[in-house]
Chain A
C-alpha cells in the first residue's frame, strides 16, 4: 500500500472530496472542495472517480512525500511545485512534491491515483474545518494512505486548462430578496477581506443600504450573497451555515463556484447579473470541458 507523508502543510491543507449533501436538515452544510472543478479535474486526470478525496492546499502549499510510485495531478492554481499542471504525472517512490506560495489563485489541488484513503464521516471524507466534522487540517508528520478509487487509465498528456483563474467578474442570478434592492451590488467593485474563510467570503466596498423588510431566518444555499446590517456583502461558501437571516439580493452561479475557491484576500471582484438560462448554459459548457478530460 502506498502512503503520503506530509513533511510540511503550508498555510492550510485539508482532505476534500465533493462534500456531504443530504444533511442540511440536520444543520450540516455540504462542505467539500473549495475549488470543486480542480478536484474533479484532478481526479479524472489520474483515473479516479471524480469525487475521490484529494489534498487541497490554501495560499501556501506543503511538501508531500510518496512512499511508493504514484500517479498524481496538480490542478487549480500554480503553487510552484515545478511539475506541469492539469495533467497526470508519474512520480517515483520517495519523491517529494514540494509546493510553495501561490503564483495565481488561492487553492491548489493534489490528486493521487487511488484517492486519499481516509475514513468517511456522513458519507464524505471532506474536512469541515470549523466543526471538525470529517477530521482536521493536516499537520506535518501526518501519514495518509492512498486508497483504491482508480477506475480507469490516467490521462498523461496535457489538456486545455479551464478559462483564466484571475477573472474578477462573478456571474450571479437573482436571489430570493432581489426585489428589496435596486442594483447597488452591480455598481462597484469589492475587495476580498482577510477574515474570509471556507465559511464565507467577506467583501469590502461601498455599503449597500439595509432594506427595511422583515426577514425571518430561512435556508441559504452555497454562493448566496448576503447583505448584513453593515452593508458589506458576505458570499456564503462551502462551510456556510445552513440557515441565515440576512437578505440575499443575488447568488453566484454554479459555474463560478470554483472561482470563489480561488479568491485570495485583497483580490478585487465585481458582480454581473445573468439570467437563469445563461447560468445553466455556463454550467453545461463547464461540464462539457470537464468530460474532455476523461
Chain B
C-alpha cells in the first residue's frame, strides 16, 4: 500500500510500506520504470521505499500525476496490484560481478571493520564476498549504488568525520548498508577495498554500470594478480 504526499510545487513523493524492505524497493523500481518517458515528468528519484516524481508544473498538474501513480500501483486498494509489465514479462535479475582488491592501500578501513566485528580481516573479506546484494537504488552521487544484503556481522558505524576525498571505485560499508563510490568524492563510509571497474561513465550508454534491481557479488582479486 502506497501513500502519496506533496513534496513541492513540482513534485510528489510516493512511499511504500517499509515492513518488507526488499519488496518496497522492488515496488519503487517498478513504479520508476513505468513512469519513465511520460510527458511532463522531468525526473524520478527512487529510494529504499519511495519514488519522488518531479514534473513540469506548466505541463502537468499534481492531480494528473497522482492519478497516473494511482493507476500504476493501485493506491488505495489496500493491496498493491502488480504494475504493468510485472506479470506479463517477468524480468530476469541481472547479476553483476565486481572485482575487488581488499585491504591495504585500497581498503584503509578493513582493519577497523574487522576489529569492530571481532573477526580477522580475512573473514571480513570472505563474508563480504560471499553475500549476494540487491541494488536498491542509485543516489547520493552519479552511479552510487545503495546495496541491501550486507552480512549483519559487518555493519560498522560511519567515520566520525567524513574524508574529504574517497577515491573512485572504493568499496564501502556505511552502517548496515554497502556501496561503491563511482567517482572521487567526499565520503564518511568505511572503505574496505577498491574495484578497477568504472561504475559511471557519462559517455557510455547507459552511463551507470548498475541499475535498480540488479544483483551484485564482490569477487576478491587474488594477491598474485595485483
A residues adjacent to B (C-beta < 8 A): 21-28, 30, 121-122, 130-133, 173-176, 216-224, 241-243, 248, 251-254, 276, 279-280, 283, 287
* Most A CB within 10 A of own CB, among B5, B52, B144: B52
Cβ proximity bits B118-158 to A, threshold 8 Å, 1 near / 0 not:
00000000000000000001111111101000000000000
Query: Which B residues lie within 8 Å of A122 (CB)?
Result: 202, 207
Chain B residues with CB below 8 A from A175, complex form: 7-8
CB distance from B25 to the nearest CB of A (A): 11
Q: In the complex, what residue of chain A is closest to B56 when comparing beta carbons?
A: A21
Residue of B nearest to A178 (CB): B6
A residues near B212, Cβ cutoff 8 Å:
25
Contact B139 A241 (CB under 8 A): yes
Contact indicator B47/A216 (Cβ below 8 Å)? yes
CB distance from B216 to the nearest CB of A (A): 16
State whether A176 touches B9 (Cβ < 8 A). no
Known: A121-B202, A131-B142, A219-B13. A176 touches B44 (CB 8 A): no
CB–CB A26/B208 < 8 A: yes
- In the complex, the answer to whether A279 meets B9 with C-beta atoms within 8 Å is yes
B window 1-40: CB within 8 A of A: 5-11, 13, 15, 18, 32, 36
Q: A222 — which chain B residues lie within 8 A by C-beta? A: 8, 54
In the complex, the answer to whether B42 meets A30 with C-beta atoms within 8 Å is yes
In the complex the two chains form, is A242's CB within 8 Å of B139's CB? Answer: yes
Asked if B43 is at the interface of the complex by the 8 Å CB criterion, the answer is yes
Q: How far is the CA of A283 from the CA of B62 in the complex (A)?
A: 14
Complex alpha-carbon distance, A218 and B7, angstroms: 11
Q: Which residues on the B side are within 8 Å of A287 (C-beta)? A: 58
Q: Is the CB of A276 within 8 A of B9?
A: yes
Contact A251/B9 with A24-B54, A30-B42 known, Cβ cut-off 8 Å: yes
Q: How large is the interface on B (under 10, 10 to 19, 20 to 34, 35 or more residues)?
A: 35 or more
Q: A131-B183, A216-B18 are in contact. Are A176 and B13 (CB under 8 A)?
A: yes
Let me know if B45 is at the binding interface, CB within 8 A. Answer: yes
Partner of A221, one of B8, B138, B208: B8
**B43 touching A22 by the CB < 8 A rule?**
yes
In the bound complex, CA of A242 to CA of B10 (Å): 15
Residues in chain B near residue A174, CB distance under 8 A: 6
Q: Which of B9, B51, B143, B200 contacts A219 (CB 8 A)?
A: B51
Contact B50 A219 (CB under 8 A): yes
> What's the least CB distance linking B168 to chain A, in Å?
11
Q: How many A-B residue pairs have CB under 8 A?
A: 138
- B6, B140, B207: the one contacting A176 at CB < 8 Å is B6
Q: B47, B54, B183, B207: which contacts A26 (Cβ < 8 A)?
A: B207
Contact A242–B6 (Cβ < 8 Å): no
Alpha-carbon separation in the docked complex, A133 to B185 (Å):
13
Taking the closest CB of chain B, its distance from the CB of A32, in whole angstroms, is: 11
Q: Is A25 in contact with B49, judged by CB distance below 8 angstroms?
A: no
A252 nearest in chain B by CB position: B8
Complex: chain A residue closest to B5, CB-CB: A176
Task: Decide if B206 is an interface residue (CB 8 Å cutoff).
Answer: yes
Across the interface, which residues of A come within 8 angstroms of B146, CB to CB?
217
Closest residue of A by beta carbon distance from B49: A216
Question: Bound complex: CA of A287 vs CA of B59, how far in Å?
Answer: 13
B193 at the interface (CB under 8 A from A): no
Report Cα–Cα, A183/B32, bound state, in Å: 33
The 9 A-B residue pairs whose C-beta atoms are closest, nearest first, are: A219-B45, A219-B52, A243-B139, A251-B8, A24-B43, A279-B9, A21-B42, A27-B138, A26-B208
Query: What residues of A have a CB within 8 angstroms of the CB of B51 in the complex?
Result: 219
Please indicate the chain A residues that have their CB under 8 angstroms from the CB of B202 in the complex: 121-122, 133
**B48: CB under 8 A from chain A?**
yes
* Minimum Cβ distance to chain B for residue A198 (Å): 14
Evaluate contact between B52 and A30: CB separation under 8 angstroms. no
Asked if B169 lies at the interface with its beta carbon under 8 angstroms from chain A, I say no
**17 A/B residue pairs, CB under 8 Å, sorted by A:** A23-B142, A26-B142, A30-B43, A121-B202, A131-B142, A131-B183, A132-B183, A175-B8, A217-B146, A218-B15, A218-B45, A219-B51, A224-B7, A243-B47, A243-B139, A254-B57, A280-B57
Residue of A with least CB distance to B202 = A121
Contact between B141 and A218 (Cβ–Cβ < 8 Å)?
no
The residue from A26, A219, A223, A276 contacting B6, defined by CB atoms under 8 A apart: A276
Inter-subunit contact A24/B45 (CB<8 Å): yes
- How many Å from the CB of A123 to the closest CB on chain B? 10
Q: How far is the CB of A185 from chain B (nearest CB, A)?
A: 15
Q: How far is the CA of A224 from the CA of B182 in the complex (A)?
A: 25
With A21-B43, A243-B137, A280-B57 already in contact, the answer to whether A27 and B142 are too (CB < 8 A) is yes
Residues in B whose Cβ lies below 8 Å from that of A26: 138, 142-143, 200, 206-208
